[in-house]
Amino acid sequence: MKDDAYKTLNVLGCVPGLLNVLFELAHEAQRIRRFNILLNVPVEIALENAGLDEWDVAKIHVYECEDGVPENGLFAFSVVGVKSKEIVYNYFNERFGLHKSQFLNLIHPTAYVSRSADLDYGLQVEPLSLVSSRTTLGFGVTIKRGCNVGHHCCIGRFVTLNPGVTVCGYVTVGDQTMIGAGAVVRDGVKIGCHTVIGAGSVVVDDIPDHVVAFGNPCRPQKVIKIH
């Protein structure tokens, strides 16, 4: 498609650190230079919470989505946190019928994703990351720079792998789980949903749902309460 639709990306949420990376990724992966930022909260709250005034907002159209979202637009996430992506997606999906197929896969040209990998929508794969054969990436997965994801893994919806994570083969990571920078997950391990794995952890045994776990060997340290 050569019209302008391809050149404007509608970004849900506005976490400044992530926006910066996302703009660069979108440009290098898809040559996108223009961005709308769509908020599910009033602009003032977003400004206060996310420090949006640090940004050169003159170049970016920021608005609350009272009247809807652009039709046939392309979308991406700029939110962080174990639950945030799903909350933001559900808001736009329920209110405006935004479908996951409208979310672009942003895969940096220096990343390698196997042709046999099974990819959902809304993926962000940052520079120098690898995704090996027969691995499944669920909707809204973010793989930050320098990660290595082995073969036959199953990475659930809205999972975030922070920089330098190594996931060996046949690993399962549940929905909305976050794995901290530099962690290593041994082959065959199953990590639950809504769980946080601390930076630098070495995960050699299965980890349940809804816990914060860290260390070498990685062990659950506390429970994440569900509201």
Ligand X SMILES: CC(C)(COP(=O)(O)OP(=O)(O)OC[C@H]1O[C@@H](n2cnc3c(N)ncnc32)[C@H](O)[C@@H]1OP(=O)(O)O)[C@@H](O)C(=O)NCCC(=O)NCCS
How far apart CA 14 and CA 46 sit, in angstroms, is 7
How far apart CA 80 and CA 14 sit, in angstroms, is 9
Structure tokens that stand for 200 in this block: 């630098």
Q: Note if 151 is an active site residue.
A: yes
- Least separation in angstroms between residue 152's CB and ligand X is 25
- Least separation in angstroms between residue 217's CB and ligand X is 11
128, 130, 199, 202: which one binds ligand X (CB under 6 A) = 199
Catalytic residue among 61, 108, 151, 194, which? 151
How far apart CA 192 and CA 188 sit, in angstroms, is 13
Work out whether 146 is an interface residue with ligand X (CB under 6 A).
Answer: no
19, 76, 147, 196: which one binds ligand X (CB under 6 A) = 196
Work out whether 163 is an interface residue with ligand X (CB under 6 A).
Answer: yes
Please, what sign has the CA dihedral across residues 38, 140, 215, 193? positive
Work out whether 220 is an interface residue with ligand X (CB under 6 A).
Answer: no
Torsion angle in degrees (nearest 10) through CA of 89, 92, 95, 96: -130
Which amino acid, 209? D
Question: Is the distance from CB of 152 to CB of 134 less than 8 angstroms?
Answer: yes
Work out whether 103 is an interface residue with ligand X (CB under 6 A).
Answer: no
Work out whether 180 is an interface residue with ligand X (CB under 6 A).
Answer: yes
Work out whether 162 is an interface residue with ligand X (CB under 6 A).
Answer: yes
Active site residues: 151
- Interface residues with ligand X (CB under 6 A) are 162-163, 180-181, 196, 198-201, 212, 214-215
